[in-house]
Amino acid sequence: MTTGLHPGEAPQDPRPTGNHALPTQERGGNAAVHADNRTRSSVITARAAASFEPVGRSVATARSFVRDTLQGWGFADIVDDAVVLTSELVTNAVVHAGTSADVLCLRSDDGVRIEVADHYPEREIPLQGAAIDMGSPDREGGRGLQLCAALAGRWGVEYTPTHKQVWFQLELPERAVGTRAAGPALPAHLLPLADGRVRVAVVQIDRTGAINAWNEDAEELFGYAAEQVTGKPLTDLAAWPHTPGTSTGIVEALQLSRWEGSYGIRCADGRVTPVYASHLRVRDTSGEPSTVCLLVRDHERAVLQTPLRLAAADSGTTAEGQTTDPFEIFIGSPAPDDLDGLLQRTVERARDMLDADSAFLLLATDDETELEVRASTGLPSARQRFARVPVEAGPGRYGSARMPAVHEDLTVVPGAVPLLGGTGMRSVVTVPLKVEGRLTGSLGVAAEAPGRYSNEEALRLQFAADRIALAVESARLGELERLRRGSLSFLVEASDLLAGTLDRDQTLALMAQMTVPTLATWCAVYTIADQSSEPYLSYVLHEDEERIDGLKALLSKIAPPDPVPTPGARVWSAPAAAAHEAALRTSMRSLGLGETASASTGIGTTLATASAVGGETVVLPLVARNRVIGMLTLGKPSDEHFRQEILELAEDLSRRAALALDNARLYSERTAISQSLQRSLLPPELPHIENVEVEVIYRAAGEGNEVGGDFYDLFPIRDGAYGFAIGDVCGTGPEAAAVTGLARHALRLLAREGYGGPAVLERLNSAILDEGARSRFLTLLYGELWPQEDGSAILKVVCAGHPLPLRLRQDGTVEPAAEPQPLLGVMEDLELYEQTVTLDPGDVLLCVTDGVTERREGTRMLGDDGLADVLTTCTGLTAGAVAARIMRAVERFASDAPSDDMAILAMRVPGLQTD
């Protein structure tokens, strides 16, 4: 929100006038009419007005509006009092009265007057002469008037049948005004006030926005030593005034060739010191740019502030005879650097030039088929901003866009200016903005009374529009270029984030988080599993986390949007309609006019949800591989509209998000299939063997693998006999797992056919060689186990190229339990033999794959000797404890993740249990 500056202008009362106004109260008991006349007799040098919707966040927005306005006028001394009073009065309007609030700031020679009005239609009109009961300060409401009485120099209340208005005036502190131009010598008492020593902070900012120079005066003013702030961005210290309607921030200001104005610096003690600053962009001898910032305390601004340009007459000539730019005459000097500020100042100046109640400015879209509302004053801007109307075709067309037009009474020609529908405006004059014969926009002013404007006013407004058209078009093109650069950066970052995950749920969350709040206020993602499935509400996000549950409940009750594959955004009105209907039902229930409300719902939640989705809602299809896999839904609150550039950016994002979501779906499906197949290669539950403890630990290398090249098995062969195996196929991953399945199933089949260990392995060797190019060599330890009645166990083992099994005796000695023989899958003719081993009670047989013995840390390797050393510490442990201790030792041996599959098979004969 920007302000209009009108030097020397006679005061104009923006409030309704007539016989309805009653005398108001002034502090001290004097009639407010007298105080009002005194204020209005002063010359109003600037005004700023804004309307705020009846929602809770409007209170904070109103505080920011007043703070930014007064800081922009240089009245930092009274900002705090003004913000407190405004906050209380706007709270009374939007929270307690439940209506919109109009805030008007007026600057005059002797102070600032702020007026806050609501539109409560049933406000009781107080009787004159009745004593005013200020109430208790401990009450929830009513503090606004008490604060006005305590803080304001003058204040008052005015009532009409349609609105209540509270105004207050804050006097400026006595302070001499510094000269702004060269002039004659002045007496000492007329010179501007300053401290005993004026300190000028000199801060230099490098190309990246970081501080690289900080002088002693800066240390004294703000409490930071140079080493504390050097290298930090100035944005960490600057309390920059964010004014609604403008977009220039400190980052942009530091890039300008010259900038001058007020902001705040956060000091080391936590306070914000108002400063007046002068920025100058320079470059050193090597061409490196930087910005030199001179800062003084705000009340010493005369030290740095440059003289104002003199206001020019209509002829465009100053008192000294120098000509001025007609554009600056119309807009005011200096012109804003950003497009939003330029447009806002234009509509305010156009409104004042024709003494109108409102003004608006529309800009043409790129294809010039629609006009988009970009600035307005005196209208509900939250509802109108970025609304679009066709230029000359279809219903609701803006037919007067290409030539000046005067509408004496809109009630006679309804729909002539769609923007003003329902606003109470009746007479309108509109003129086009053209550059080289091309339509670039439209400027209009309106009044509540009919017949206010004639062709003469239209010509005056057209003359003003011609002055500003080129500047507006240049600023618009500059904004488009910045938006395109920002859009490209946004899409690049979005693509990187979406490409960084193959998890479906994380992809959905990223889609929503990238759109909220950058592109929309809320977002919902619908997904479609297949062509026969209905859209499913998969993810909901709102910029206010407290609104997510209510929004999700609302969307769950309405039918999802149709999965139309047509590209582009289409408007979806169902959420707003459902929200308004739910809010109406809840309000009726609260008044006892409908069915009883459930305990889980409340009027506050329903109204908040209705406000959250009350604006424009659009749906973009998520199309991947020629199939609609979902919809991306974006929404705005409180009748807001999307800009065309935002919709185009959202469409680009939806294409990238759809492909990422489909990739995540395919990856999840393939991973599930792969893991299901791999799990089928694992043996079922290990059988229970009487008087023998068995424990297996298996780790497959590779992300997402459950089975690799290592495998194990333990199975019954016949009554009293069990087969066991542990092997390692060359390589890892699914290819090695295929040979694993062949080996495990062949072992079971051959062993149960009655073949001995050597015969089983020889036939398995032939089967592996029959695979041809797909064959892989295999190391395998195979054995047969017979538990004995005396508590011991007899084993017959064949070790075909595999790490030797180790036997741990009760006395702690460790020895190999077999001899090495040739591995499988290399030679056709093998001559293998089996060896018999007897495990006495308390003995342990440990079998591992080479992923355990070849565990490395740099040049060190665990090896067979290291494994034997660990095993010697396992005397007296159960089989499970032995396997766990071996695995811990392997994991601790190296810090890196294992690069090879690992399998551990431990068998222990505990001996017979006696009663």
Tell me, what DSSP letter sits at residue 122? T
- Tell me which H or E stretch contains 724: strand 721-729
The strand order across the sheet containing 806-808 reads 693-699, 902-908, 844-848, 806-808, 814-816
Write the DSSP string, 22-37: ---B-TTS-BHHHHHH
Average pLDDT over residues 207-228: 92
Q: Is the pLDDT of residue 201 over 80?
A: yes
The band of 332, judged by pLDDT with boundaries at 50, 70 and 90, is low
Q: Which amino acid is at 672?
A: A
Tokens linked to 460: 């005056």
Distance of CA 842 to the CA centre of its chain: 64
C-beta separation of 512 from 539 below 8 A: yes
Residue 732 is predicted with a pLDDT of 62
List strand residue ranges (DSSP E) for 394-437, in order.
405-407, 427-435
Average pLDDT over residues 623-631: 86
Q: Is the pLDDT of residue 131 over 80?
A: no
Residue 355 is predicted with a pLDDT of 80
The rounded distance, in Å, linking the Cα atoms of 681 and 493 is 42
The rounded distance, in Å, linking the Cα atoms of 888 and 213 is 56
Q: Which long-range contacts (CB under 8 A, 24 or more apart) does 505-514 make?
A: 506/664, 507/657, 507/660, 507/661, 507/664, 508/538, 508/539, 508/661, 509/539, 510/657, 510/660, 511/539, 511/632, 511/653, 511/657, 511/660, 511/661, 512/539, 512/540, 512/541, 513/541, 514/490, 514/653, 514/657
Residue 381 is predicted with a pLDDT of 54
First-to-final CA distance of the chain? 92
Q: Is the pLDDT of residue 243 over 80?
A: no
* Residue predicted with more confidence, 735 or 420: 420
Instruction: Please list, in sequence order, all residues whose beta carbon lies within 8 angstroms of the beta carbon of residue 865, skipping any fewer than 6 positions away.
Output: none
| Segment 217-226, tens digit of pLDDT | 999 999 999 9
| Segment 355-376, tens digit of pLDDT | 888 888 888 876 667 788 888 8
Q: Is the pLDDT of residue 132 over 60?
A: no
The torsion angles phi and psi of 566, rounded to 5 degrees, stand at -60, 125
Q: Is the pLDDT of residue 619 over 80?
A: yes
C-beta separation of 11 from 37 below 8 A: no
Residue 129 is predicted with a pLDDT of 40
The band of 388, judged by pLDDT with boundaries at 50, 70 and 90, is low
The band of 235, judged by pLDDT with boundaries at 50, 70 and 90, is confident
Write the DSSP string, 840-909: PTT-EEEEE-HHHHT-EETTEE-HHHHHHHHHGGGTT--HHHHHHHHHHHHHHH-SSPPSS-EEEEEEE-
| Segment 564-597, tens digit of pLDDT | 888 888 888 888 777 777 767 766 666 666 554 4
Average pLDDT over residues 142-159: 74
The rounded distance, in Å, linking the Cα atoms of 496 and 493 is 5
Q: Which of 71-75, 147-151, 169-173, 260-264 has the lowest mean pLDDT?
A: 147-151
The rounded distance, in Å, linking the Cα atoms of 103 and 50 is 5
Using DSSP bridges, classify how beta strands 860-861 and 201-205 pair: parallel, antiparallel or unpaired: unpaired
Q: Is the pLDDT of residue 127 over 50?
A: no
C-beta separation of 92 from 82 below 8 A: no
Other C-beta atoms lying within 10 Å of the C-beta of residue 478: 13
Residue 807 is predicted with a pLDDT of 94
**Mean pLDDT over the full length of the chain:** 77
The rounded distance, in Å, linking the Cα atoms of 861 and 854 is 6
The rounded distance, in Å, linking the Cα atoms of 712 and 590 is 70
The band of 58, judged by pLDDT with boundaries at 50, 70 and 90, is confident
The band of 600, judged by pLDDT with boundaries at 50, 70 and 90, is very low
Tell me, what DSSP letter sits at residue 754? T
The rounded distance, in Å, linking the Cα atoms of 605 and 549 is 10
C-beta separation of 507 from 662 below 8 A: no
Which among 197, 45, 185 is positioned nearest to 113, based on CA atoms? 45
The band of 883, judged by pLDDT with boundaries at 50, 70 and 90, is very high
Residue 210 is predicted with a pLDDT of 92
Which among 449, 491, 65, 436 is positioned nearest to 244, based on CA atoms? 65
Average pLDDT over residues 619-645: 83
Tokens linked to 444: 């209009």
Residue 595 is predicted with a pLDDT of 54
Q: Is the pLDDT of residue 844 over 90?
A: yes
Residue 67 is predicted with a pLDDT of 82
The band of 603, judged by pLDDT with boundaries at 50, 70 and 90, is very low
